[in-house]
Amino acid sequence: MTSLDSATNAPKPSARELPDVSQLVVGVLGGTGDQGRGLALRLARAGQQVIIGSRDAARAEASAAELGDGALGVRGADNATVARESDVVIVAVPWDGHAATLSALREELAGKIVVDCVNPLGFDKQGAYALKPEEGSAAQQAAALLPDSRVTAAFHHLSAVLLQDESVERIDTDVLVLGEERAATDIVQALAERIPGMRGVFAGRLRNAHQVEGLVANLISVNRRYKAHAGLRITDV
């Protein structure tokens, strides 16, 4: 039997218990955009305290009010306030504003778990295609700009349409989570699993983030061809 066969036939490790994240405050930078707004809604409906962030505090407060405001545990604030007052901060800003937004919040995000879900994409007549940032990926750019933060990457492959559709009770998909620190990726996996139908799956270190971000271009092509809102499932895990 080869070493590969031995590894394949070895007993699977039992699932580890994920941490309790119910008391953590989650901030969403870019929470007035489709993806950020959808994530804020789903996490708030799961019982998480959520702060929606925007450069314009009034816009963030209006978006929070539309989602149910205090009734769902959602409030709005400017980006700096969100970064200071949150335990975990999801970055859901447009790619073209990614670097500037994070650079301005380096001090406020120090020590925080930062979850980058930004997908660097270009679009032309042939459709969507992945861009390759100088650092390798959006997540690696975030790590370079935020050396004192615990940077992870997750939530890339979720349909903003499904996230915002309140008639959809479950979103059956896996969330690939990447990062350098196991404790941080465990927390992000646990947050993903607060949302009905979702499962957090560790998918490697940040150096592997480019292909995870780039896969969104393929999902866009799938959605256009099949008029769908495609997600991902990892088998045999």
Q: What is the pLDDT along the chain (237 residues), one digit of tens a residue?
A: 444 444 445 444 434 689 999 999 999 999 999 999 999 999 999 999 999 999 999 999 999 999 875 567 899 999 999 999 999 999 999 999 999 999 999 999 999 999 999 999 999 999 999 999 999 999 999 999 999 999 999 999 999 999 999 999 999 999 999 999 999 999 999 999 999 999 999 999 999 999 999 999 999 999 999 999 999 999 999
Tokens (6 digits) for 98: 């990614």
At 73 the pLDDT is 83
Picking from 26, 73, 35, 82, the residue whose alpha carbon sits closest to that of residue 54 is 82
The residue written with tokens 């490697």 in the block is 204
Picking from 37, 53, 40, the residue whose alpha carbon sits closest to that of residue 85 is 53
Residue pair 88/191 in contact (Cβ under 8 Å)? The answer is: yes
117 vs 127: CA distance, rounded Å: 21
H or E stretch including 171?
Answer: none
Q: Indicate the SS3 state at residue 206.
A: helix
At 68 the pLDDT is 75
Name 151's bridge partners. 114
At 42 the pLDDT is 96
* Backbone φ and ψ of 93, nearest 5°: -85, 160
Q: Indicate the SS3 state at residue 136.
A: coil
At 69 the pLDDT is 55
Q: Which long-range contacts (CB under 8 A, 24 or more apart) does 41-47 make?
A: 41/67, 41/72, 41/74, 41/163, 41/164, 41/166, 42/163, 42/171, 42/195, 43/191, 43/194, 43/195, 44/68, 44/72, 44/73, 44/74, 45/72, 46/194, 46/195, 46/196, 47/22, 47/73, 47/194
Residue pair 69/8 in contact (Cβ under 8 Å)? The answer is: no
- Cα-Cα-Cα-Cα dihedral of 74, 79, 85, 91, to 10°? 80
At 63 the pLDDT is 92
Q: How many helices and strands (H and E) does the chain possess?
A: 9, 10
* Backbone φ and ψ of 106, nearest 5°: -55, -45
What pTM, to 2 d.p., does this model score?
Answer: 0.92
At 93 the pLDDT is 97
At 70 the pLDDT is 57
